Amino acid sequence: MNPYPADMRAMRERLRAALRRGLIAVLDVGTSQTVCLILQVDAAALEQAEAKGSAHDAHAALRVVGAGITRSRGVRFGEIADMEDSERAIRTALERAEKSVGARVDQVIATVSGARPRSIGAFGEVELEGEEATSRDISRALHASDWPDRREGREVIHAMPVNFTLDGRGSTPDPRGMAAKSLAVDLHAVSVDRTPLRNLAASVRRCDLELAGVVVGSYASGLSSLVEDEQKLGAACIDLGAGSSDIAIFLRGHLIHADSVRMGGDHLTQDISVGLSMPMDAAERIKTFHGGAVATGLDDRELIEAPHIGETHPADRRKISRSALIGVIRPRLEEILEDVRRRLDSAGFQQLPGRRIVLTGGAAQLTGIEETAQRILGRQVRIGRPMRIAGLPQAVSGPDCAAVVGLALHAARPQDEIWDFEPVAAFASRRRIAGAVRWFRDNW
């Protein structure tokens, strides 16, 4: 019933080992840029924070000691399309980050963006063995639920318990020690396409790195862009990336829905390039410097240099008005946001108590996107910048790096997943030996 628990559990073990050793890398292979951060972890402080259960303290135990950003190669729609190129990008980013640290990092946590994430809800219920609920009961309840994605070519990368119910009374964050007769658990699983996931794992492996976890990109962005209250009351984080726009909905501090629209900032560039017949790099440049979502009267008079394709002489440079540019950008942007709204609606976002929407990702830096999004998605829209963590360089603190910062936060305080709960096994001694063997393999 648990399709790849060994993989997931092994990755968790590697993450724990890396945290104990104090150095771990996080890697976001995006469509436009590949970002790698190297985090120094104060293991003692992290342990204290764990004991106190304080997310803030856990984040304070982190320090970014190295950062490497490079242009992505061979990535389309957030998925790896050319292994050779993407591997080169990962090498570049990691090499830069490692160079600034001067130390070698072997474990890396990566995001999976694109790859058509799908949310699966599951429910499991068991009678308690004793008077009070124990972690053994939780484990049994989790494994009693039916959560795998049974479609061909899918792989589950998250399976988080989001809610515990004791005798029909819900919203218990931690049921251990509470008296009840039965324990039910709501599980939220996220599955992605297997091929992009495998490709990502292969790219990382080809760079001599060990994968210590995979996280859905939108979840990582949400972790860094949503403030704690938003995560509690219900909010959606929309990561407007270059190749895909990823949606993550949070409620009561948990991810409850993940989705992705396979359109993003690159499509705006493409439209500019095609619509105004410009070279791609010029289109990207114009979009970044002059692009916008809302045209005003002043924009008619503002002229922008816009070279034609094949035009080489500077004297021949054509000029277009800014409103013409916005006229090309806007329909596509609206299309993306409409698609996002459709997905939010089908996920039942309108029924949540809080309906805040936070836009992040590279395309969220477009001028006027907030107004457009408010018009299409609803009133409560803001642009989110990732949370600050110690030592974060300026270049990595913009909305376009929300996912990688979220990964860092995830590394310090990973959400419990089903594979963190030991399955209730009959052969306890054999498991212990296997654990010892695994410890040796991980640490030596």
Chain residues binding other proteins by CB under 8 A are: 70, 73, 88-89, 91-92, 95, 98-99, 102-104, 207-208, 279, 281-282, 307, 312-314
**Whole-angstrom distance, CA of residue 49 vs CA of residue 409:** 13
Longest pairwise C-alpha distance within the chain? 85
E strand segments, 72-106: 75-76, 79-80
Nearer to other proteins, 176 or 319 (CB): 319
**Whole-angstrom distance, CA of residue 390 vs CA of residue 371:** 32
Nearer to other proteins, 125 or 305 (CB): 305
For 15, list phi and psi in degrees, rounded to 5: -60, -45
**Whole-angstrom distance, CA of residue 417 vs CA of residue 8:** 9
Nearer to other proteins, 21 or 232 (CB): 21
Instruction: Work out how close the CB of 211 gets to other proteins at its nearest, in angstroms, rounded to a whole number.
Output: 16
The helix (H) or strand (E) run that includes residue 11 is: helix 5-21
Residues whose CB is less than 8 angstroms from the CB of residue 53 and which lie 6 or more positions away in sequence, other chains included: none
Nearer to other proteins, 68 or 148 (CB): 68
Nearer to other proteins, 315 or 426 (CB): 315
Dihedral, CA of residue 177, residue 417, residue 427 and residue 210, to nearest 10: -140
Instruction: Work out how close the CB of 269 gets to other proteins at its nearest, in angstroms, rounded to a whole number.
Output: 15
Q: Is 113 buried (19+), middle (13-18) or exposed (0-12) by CB count in 10 A? A: buried
Nearer to other proteins, 82 or 334 (CB): 82
Instruction: Work out how close the CB of 95 gets to other proteins at its nearest, in angstroms, rounded to a whole number.
Output: 5
Alpha-carbon Rg for the chain in angstroms? 23
Distance spanning both ends of the chain, measured CA to CA: 32
Contact 114, 196 (CB under 8 A): yes
Paired residues of 160 in beta bridges: 188
Instruction: Work out how close the CB of 91 gets to other proteins at its nearest, in angstroms, rounded to a whole number.
Output: 5
Nearer to other proteins, 92 or 218 (CB): 92
Phi/psi-derived region of residue 77, left when phi > 0, alpha when psi is between -120 and 50, beta in every other case: left
Instruction: Work out how close the CB of 103 gets to other proteins at its nearest, in angstroms, rounded to a whole number.
Output: 6
Instruction: Work out how close the CB of 240 gets to other proteins at its nearest, in angstroms, rounded to a whole number.
Output: 26
- The DSSP code for 103 is S
Query: What are the C-alpha distances in Å from 187 to residues 147, 158, 177, 382, 416?
Result: 8, 10, 20, 29, 11
Nearer to other proteins, 181 or 317 (CB): 317
Instruction: Work out how close the CB of 312 gets to other proteins at its nearest, in angstroms, rounded to a whole number.
Output: 4
Nearer to other proteins, 106 or 335 (CB): 106
Instruction: Work out how close the CB of 92 gets to other proteins at its nearest, in angstroms, rounded to a whole number.
Output: 4
Instruction: Work out how close the CB of 347 gets to other proteins at its nearest, in angstroms, rounded to a whole number.
Output: 39
Structure tokens at 225: 């862009």
